[in-house]
Amino acid sequence: MGPERGNDEQWREKLTRDEYRVLRQGGTEAPWTGEYVDEKRRGVYRCRACGSELFSSDTKFDSRCGWPSFWTPLAGDRVRLLSDDSLGMQRTEVRCANCDSHLGHVFYGEGWDNPDDARFCINSISLTLEPAEDAA
């Protein structure tokens, strides 16, 4: 089965107004307000729109930026990276490869101690945590 693109009406029915604003319209939740900013449980983070597995808690780290941060997705083909020059700056947008929902942005070269010196800065509202069975 191909990627779940859906139409606008279907997304409006499935998602809350805030989820739709971020996932389908490329919005951003306010810093420090998302449910996963300080989340420590082990598990897999899925796309809130389509359920695709995107990130592991094993790659989540505290970047103190106000949004959940990961140093890599589960696999490179789980996300799409797009050039974003909105807001007068050059950034790289992160989208779900399955349903094309906006997740956040990735930043490189900030001095993080991970293999790619990467920070995938992802909106909590774009994710759903599936805790590991042994997660406390």
Q: What is the pLDDT of residues 46-55, one digit of tens each?
A: 999 999 999 9
121 is catalytic: yes
Q: What is the pLDDT of residues 36-86, one digit of tens each?
A: 999 999 999 999 999 999 999 999 999 999 999 999 999 889 999 998 877
**CATH tag for 8-131 (out of 3.30.70.1520, 2.40.10.120, 2.170.150.20, 3.30.70.270):** 2.170.150.20
Structure tokens at 131: 């805790």
Mention every residue, 6+ apart, whose C-beta is less than 8 A from residue 12: 20
25: which DSSP letter? T
The mean predicted confidence, pLDDT, of the chain is 91
3-state secondary structure 30-73: CCCCCCCCCCCCCEEEEECCCCCEEEEHHHEECCCCCCCEECCC
Judge whether residue 121 has pLDDT over 60: yes
Judge whether residue 29 has pLDDT over 60: yes
Find the catalytic residue in 50, 96, 99, 121.
121
